[in-house]
Amino acid sequence: MRLKPAGILITLVVIGVLGYFALKPKTTSTTQEQERTEIPTPKGDSVGNTPSPVEPAPTEVASTSQDREFSYTPDKPVNGKLRGVVELGAAGFNSFVINLDDQRRWEILSKDFGTSLAYEGLATTEDIREGLKKYIGGMLDKGVAKKDIHFVISSGAQKEPKTTTISNELKKMGYVVNAVSPDQEAKFGLKATIPASFTDNSFMVDIGSGNTKVSWEEGGTLKALELPGAKYYEKGTSDEEVYNTIKSQISKIPEGKRNVGFIIGGVPFTLAKQHRKGEERYTVLRAAESYKPVDKKMSSGLNIYKAIVDGTQSDTFVFDWDANFTIGFLLGLNK
């Protein structure tokens, strides 16, 4: 049958319409997918506050989301006196100048952690003598009287041969060098580190290179432990052995004394330095797993830290940027 012109026109229109729908882009499903994946704009709450957009999961091991603050401000000394103390430690020298009053309130005026007089630069007795003169001169320049500069040899450093030579040179210069036992060191550390209001329910940890000291108050007396230090690997001791020893020994701390672990020492200093926010006096350490060790000493120190955490089940360890056991030594001197 032959179509008339009008029929041909109608047929072409139908074919065109069908072709249009057959070739039209399918935008409906794409639009729905966009609606499912788009993050909506945050809306204000009932009081008009706008929440922050959702942050992506952190990719770094040390997440700032776990950072906490320890809000405590020590009392300032009144009509205090300048006193200086130098620690001869197993890894070098630390020195502090404090303002101390007759009520044993103190504040740090200057501190130097192991950078001003390293053992490596003291090759001969003449090097030691000249180095010490410059070191002492710096403290005198800060206003500390010669009779108020004290030297203390840590328990770990007493095992180092070079400290004997240094001690002898200091004695020739007229200074008294005080050697302290691990027990004394732990108790001095507690005096300098734990605020009075926390003494009843907290403990102190000092992770040094030669040993780790732990102290707490119990029954009106100070208890102390000496545990392996961060350089235990030099003696061929395994991580597992140290971990098990510390975890077992640290459990001697009564449960009522585990509220806060106040922690000092070289390794905690390195850890706290990674996420200190400014110049705050106290930094709450993160979980041990959040830190990446940069050397063997730090790795060993983290092993010690984890054993202490696991052994006490404490979740708050506060690093004090100003405290050192030698300041506790100063606090124990006659007024």
DSSP 278-314: SS-SEEE---GGG---SSHHHHHHHHHHHHHHHHH--
pLDDT of residue 43: 32
pLDDT of residue 64: 44
Q: Rounded to a whole number, what is the distance in angstroms from the first to the last CA of the chain?
A: 127
pLDDT of residue 126: 80
Q: Which two tokens stand for residue 128?
A: 């030691």
pLDDT of residue 334: 72
Q: Where are the domains of the chain?
A: 81-179, 182-331
pLDDT of residue 205: 97
- What's the mean pLDDT in 264-279? 93
Sheet-wide strand order for 81-88? 106-113, 93-100, 81-88, 149-153, 177-179
Q: CATH number of the domain at 81-179, please? A: 3.30.420.40
The answer on pLDDT for 164 being more than 80 is yes
3-class DSSP state of 328: helix
pLDDT of residue 117: 53
The answer on pLDDT for 18 being more than 90 is no
Nearest CA to 328 out of 218, 186, 205 is that of: 186
Q: How far is CA 235 from the centre of its chain?
A: 25
The answer on pLDDT for 318 being more than 50 is yes
Q: What class is the 182-331 domain?
A: alpha beta
pLDDT of residue 173: 87
- pLDDT band of residue 170 (cuts 50, 70, 90) is confident
pLDDT of residue 65: 47
pLDDT of residue 223: 95
Q: pLDDT tens across 19-41, in order?
A: 555 544 444 433 333 333 232 23
- What's the mean pLDDT in 218-223? 92
Residue bearing tokens 């506050």: 49
Nearest CA to 169 out of 153, 183, 184, 181 is that of: 153
- What's the mean pLDDT in 260-285? 94
Percent of the chain at pLDDT > 90 equals: 55
Task: Give the helix/strand (H/E) hosting 30.
Answer: helix 28-37
CA distance 279 to 286: 18
Beta bridge partners of 283: 319
- pLDDT band of residue 165 (cuts 50, 70, 90) is confident
Contacts 24+ apart (CB under 8 A), 125-132: 125/165, 125/169, 128/165, 128/166, 128/169, 129/169, 129/172, 129/173, 132/166, 132/169, 132/170, 132/173
- What's the mean pLDDT in 77-87? 93
Q: Which residue has the higher pLDDT, 330 or 63?
A: 330
Contacts of 1 (CB under 8 A, 6+ apart): none
pLDDT of residue 134: 79
Helix, strand, coil percentages, rounded to 5, for the chain: 40, 20, 40
81-179 matches 182-331 in fold: yes
Q: Which two tokens stand for residue 83?
A: 């006193």
- What's the mean pLDDT in 110-120? 65
- What's the mean pLDDT in 328-332? 94
The answer on pLDDT for 101 being more than 90 is yes
Q: Tell me which of 132-136, 142-146, 265-269, 313-317 is least confident.
A: 132-136
- pLDDT band of residue 5 (cuts 50, 70, 90) is low
Q: pTM for this one? A: 0.74
CA distance 91 to 120: 10
Phi first, then psi: what are they for 141, rounded to 5°? -65, -25
Phi first, then psi: what are they for 301, rounded to 5°? -65, -40
pLDDT of residue 60: 31
* DSSP string of 259-277, one letter each residue: S-EEEEEHHHHHHHHTT--
Q: Tell me which of 148-157, 191-200, 253-262, 263-272 is least confident.
A: 148-157
- What's the mean pLDDT in 4-12? 53
Residue bearing tokens 């780790």: 212
Q: Tell me which of 33-47, 211-225, 277-291, 304-318 is least confident.
A: 33-47
- pLDDT band of residue 88 (cuts 50, 70, 90) is confident
The answer on pLDDT for 130 being more than 90 is no
Nearest CA to 312 out of 236, 233, 259, 242 is that of: 259
Q: Which two tokens stand for residue 220?
A: 């009106």
Average pLDDT, the chain: 81
3-class DSSP state of 245: helix
pLDDT of residue 53: 34
